[in-house]
Amino acid sequence: MYSCVRSLVTTSRLLSVHISSQPQQCVTDLHLCTNKNRFSHTWKSSVNQWRPLPQITRGQILRLAPTRFMSTGLRRRRLPSAFPVLDERLLPFHRHVYESNLRNSIDCHQRYAESTELVRKGGGDSAIARHTQRNRKLLVRERLRLLLDDEDYLELSALAGLGLPYGDIPSAGCLSGIGKINGLWCVFIANDATVKGGTAYPITVKKQLRAQEVAIQNRLPCVYLVDSGGAFLPLQSEIFPDKNQGGRTFYNEAIMSAMKIPQVAVVCGSCTAGGAYIPTMAEEAVMVHRIGNIFLGGPPLVKAATGEEVSPEDLGGAKLHAEVSGCVDHFAPLEEDAYQYTRNIISTLNFELPEEEDLIAEDPLHPAEELNGLAPRDYNHSLNVRLILSRLTDGSKFQEFKARYGTTLVTGFAKIEGHQVGIVASNGELLYEAALKGCHFVQLCDQRDIPLIFLQNTAPGPAPTTSLFKAESNTNRLKAQGSMMSAVACASTPKITVVIGGCHGPESYAMCGRSFDPNFLFLWPNARVSLLAPRDSGALAQEDEVDTRIHKKLEKESSAFFATARLWDDGVILPQDTRKVLGKCLKIIRQQEYQLSTEKRRSPLLRI
Ligand code: COA
């Protein structure tokens, strides 16, 4: 990139060149645009083939931007593929395991439906009545309906916050996800004030930070709908002091702004104490008359301190902040206006989206519902993962890589909803050869900039060392797994992980577990997440009583619902929805390619 820029400077004797690119992108095609005429000339930097330059005068600024992703007016054509079809039918010998898995899936789906129902009720009937009737506010899902183009949004971690030591916190007190505004995918973080006045519990903070991380990793604009009483005070020690706690939200706001990730805040309720910094640090803020309040200490605090009685509106209402303090930029007479203003703000962002591509996506040969009988109830109920692949990929097509080597891992290329991906799927223990193959394939996809999908179902416990031979083979496996972990950690291509069975032990790291930073990580409802699977706890304890206790604990703590409640993932998805969710994530990840100006600024936007 930089050598290319130097040669441009020499060739055209320019005084200044402005570079616009992301450091991690591999740029091969460049677009040259003058400040008058964008997209006028292109050339290939890799072969240094220069096309005629436009009329350039001394001092004129040239913009160089990676154009691999920009619309050039030319229709792009995908390379044709004729991948083999994986026609993996269910056979009579699968029946027994299939039915056992299906019974387990039905139980898990029942729990999923009950939890979803609970979450939909927010803080309960009386809190909803207080919110809508006394406080005259819209419910959070009504707000999203007005803000977003449609209801086809990707909600993240919907079941976070249930069954925590400090109680059930539906939706962790705030909804987060990714939805379209004027056709642009944006992260939203929206407090649900029916849950204890929208106050922030530790899990709320974690959910907000994760949503910001999603915005950062995928370069998505971010909209905050703020309606919060600030910190949930009884748990202040778990919210305030540490690095990844309350203050991190504001730190992220600054960093995101410096990275040119646009942020808009709508104050549609209380915005107290620390929360007051969210709109103040956003790039643009909208505030609703008679509903929004921004203050560090509310009227009761003023009364206690000075004896003075002051109304919330006079202390920190929309008029005050739009006309006097300048903390917000747009005064919205009604809530409905606020969401329309926000939509208008989003339309001013510097994106150039391509025409909606009609990606041709053939359905798989076999019904997606059959995935419920393939979703393993435990490791011993895992069938050949190709049965799952043939129900996930477009047209059930799969170009397998190294099919005969390291067969406990299946790797290969496929399309999901028209998007080309590389798939890494567990098909048994991650043995030496399988890990080497995984390492090779991950690097291959990184080399070609192809997103990776990990289908994780890892072995329930460590491999025991029972002989010298076994010790050597375990050591080799350790080294190969370490290499695969390095390849996964350093691959700059997007990664999405779906835990289709077990997520146990170190093998889960090589299969891109949470700590390996996948762009998204989802669980099927049957998934188990724990260091050791429950049945392996016997390896830990000799005494029966201890063994039983650990087994029970692991049984409870390894369920997908326990995991998702604690935000170890981005949510539980039903197996039959997997294609749809992956297709959406792949589209979302791709959007960053269409932001016109992505270079990092030195400082964030300041409201001074
Ligand atoms: N910490 C813990 N609980 C809080 C809270 C806080 N900061 N703020 C509100 N709550 C609780 C209330 O006690 C009430 O609990 P209940 O349902 O068990 O009775 C619930 O949240 C709803 O509060 P309520 O005042 O009845 O609802 P509201 O919608 O009319 O008002 C607020 C919501 C947030 C505007 C209002 O409660 C308020 O101003 N709270 C204080 C905010 C504050 O000073 N925060 C400082 C944090 S550093």
Closest atom of ligand 1 relative to the 228 alpha carbon: 34
Average pLDDT in the chain: 87
CA of 338 to the centre of ligand 1 (A): 24
* 78 vs 532, higher pLDDT: 532
Give the mean model confidence (pLDDT) for residues 52-78: 48
Specify the residue with its C-alpha closest to ligand 1, atom 25: 197
Residue 135: which residues within 8 A CB-CB, separation 6 or more? 193, 269, 291
What confidence score (pLDDT) does residue 126 get?
97
Question: What's at 8, amino acid-wise?
Answer: L
Q: Which two tokens stand for residue 409?
A: 């891992």
What confidence score (pLDDT) does residue 80 get?
83
Q: Which two tokens stand for residue 161?
A: 């916050």
Q: Which two tokens stand for residue 478?
A: 């350790």
Q: Which of 64-78, 216-230, 549-563 has the lowest mean pLDDT?
A: 64-78
Distance CA 554, CA 538 (A): 11
Q: Does the pLDDT value for residue 538 go beyond 80? A: no
Residue 6: which residues within 8 A CB-CB, separation 6 or more? none
What confidence score (pLDDT) does residue 35 get?
38
**In the structure, what pLDDT confidence band is assigned to residue 608 with cuts at 50, 70 and 90?**
confident
Q: Kindly report, residue by residue over 338-367, the tens digit of the pLDDT.
A: 999 999 999 999 898 888 766 678 999 999
Specify the residue with its C-alpha closest to ligand 1, atom 2: 232
Distance CA 565, CA 576 (A): 22
Closest atom of ligand 1 relative to the 123 alpha carbon: 17
Q: Does the pLDDT value for residue 3 go beyond 50? A: no
Give the mean model confidence (pLDDT) for residues 105-128: 98
Architecture of the CATH domain 135-346:
Alpha-Beta Complex (3.90)
φ, ψ of residue 65 to 5 degrees: the values are -140, 145
CA of 229 to the centre of ligand 1 (A): 6
Specify the residue with its C-alpha closest to ligand 1, atom 3: 232
- Name residue, tokens 């921004």: 294
Q: Does the pLDDT value for residue 190 go beyond 50? A: yes
Half-sphere exposure of 272 (CA within 13 A, CB side): 20
Beta strands at 452-456 and 419-426: parallel, antiparallel or unpaired: parallel
Distance CA 599, CA 81 (A): 35
CA of 197 to the centre of ligand 1 (A): 5
CA of 131 to the centre of ligand 1 (A): 12
Specify the residue with its C-alpha closest to ligand 1, atom 43: 229
CA of 233 to the centre of ligand 1 (A): 9
Q: Does the pLDDT value for residue 55 go beyond 80? A: no
- pTM of the model as a whole: 0.87
Helix 335-347 to helix 140-147 angle (10° resolution) is 40
Q: For CA atoms 457, 461, 465, 471, give the dihedral sign.
A: positive
Specify the residue with its C-alpha closest to ligand 1, atom 14: 196
Specify the residue with its C-alpha closest to ligand 1, atom 12: 196
CA of 173 to the centre of ligand 1 (A): 13
| Burial class of 233 by CB neighbour count within 10 A (0 to 12, 13 to 18, 19+) | exposed
Give the mean model confidence (pLDDT) for residues 2-12: 36
Q: Does the pLDDT value for residue 59 go beyond 80? A: no
Distance CA 364, CA 386 (A): 12
Beta bridge partners of 43: 30
Specify the residue with its C-alpha closest to ligand 1, atom 16: 196
- Name residue, tokens 């929309």: 318
Closest atom of ligand 1 relative to the 232 alpha carbon: 1
Q: Kindly report, residue by residue over 393-403, the tens digit of the pLDDT.
A: 999 999 999 99
What confidence score (pLDDT) does residue 44 get?
35
Run of H or E including 308: none
Question: What's at 574, amino acid-wise?
Answer: L
Q: Where are the beta strands (DSSP E) in 192-256?
A: 222-228
Q: Does the pLDDT value for residue 24 go beyond 50? A: no
Closest atom of ligand 1 relative to the 270 alpha carbon: 35
Specify the residue with its C-alpha closest to ligand 1, atom 21: 196
Q: Which of 128, 227, 272 to mutate to test the pocket of ligand 1 (most atoms within 8 A of CB)?
A: 272
Q: Kindly report, residue by residue over 298-349, the tens digit of the pLDDT.
A: 888 899 999 999 999 999 999 999 999 999 999 999 999 999 999 999 999 9
What confidence score (pLDDT) does residue 127 get?
98
Half-sphere exposure of 256 (CA within 13 A, CB side): 29
Q: Kindly report, residue by residue over 247-290, the tens digit of the pLDDT.
A: 999 999 999 999 999 999 999 999 998 889 999 999 999 999 99
CA of 198 to the centre of ligand 1 (A): 8
* 52 vs 536, higher pLDDT: 536
Distance CA 132, CA 229 (A): 17
**In the structure, what pLDDT confidence band is assigned to residue 532 with cuts at 50, 70 and 90?**
confident
Q: Which of 169, 199, 240 to mutate to test the pocket of ligand 1 (most atoms within 8 A of CB)?
A: 199
Architecture of the CATH domain 92-103+361-572:
Alpha-Beta Complex (3.90)
Number of H helices, E strands in the chain: 19, 20
CA of 194 to the centre of ligand 1 (A): 10
CA of 230 to the centre of ligand 1 (A): 9
Specify the residue with its C-alpha closest to ligand 1, atom 6: 232
Q: What is the 3-state secondary structure (H, E, C) of 226-280?
A: EEECCECHHHHHHCCCCCCCHHHHHHHHHHHHHCCCCEEEEEEEEEEHHHHHHHH
Closest atom of ligand 1 relative to the 236 alpha carbon: 48
Q: Which two tokens stand for residue 109?
A: 């789906």
**Which residues have any ligand 1 atom within 6 Å of their CB?**
130, 135, 193, 196-197, 199, 229-233, 270, 272-273, 298
What confidence score (pLDDT) does residue 547 get?
76
Give the mean model confidence (pLDDT) for residues 381-401: 98
Q: Which of 136, 137, 168, 196 to mutate to test the pocket of ligand 1 (most atoms within 8 A of CB)?
A: 196
Q: Are 460 and 532 in contact (CB under 8 A)?
A: yes
φ, ψ of residue 257 to 5 degrees: the values are -65, -40
**In the structure, what pLDDT confidence band is assigned to residue 542 with cuts at 50, 70 and 90?**
low
Q: Where are the beta strands (DSSP E) in 337-427?
A: 399-401, 409-416, 419-426
CA of 232 to the centre of ligand 1 (A): 8
Q: Which two tokens stand for residue 480?
A: 């190969």
Q: Bin 202: left if φ > 0, else alpha if -120 < ψ < 50, else beta.
A: alpha
Q: Does the pLDDT value for residue 30 go beyond 70? A: no
Give the mean model confidence (pLDDT) for residues 466-490: 94
Q: Are 538 and 514 in contact (CB under 8 A)?
A: no
What confidence score (pLDDT) does residue 432 get?
97
Residue 300: which residues within 8 A CB-CB, separation 6 or more? none
Q: Are 6 and 48 in contact (CB under 8 A)?
A: no
Distance CA 179, CA 181 (A): 7
Q: Which two tokens stand for residue 119?
A: 């979450």
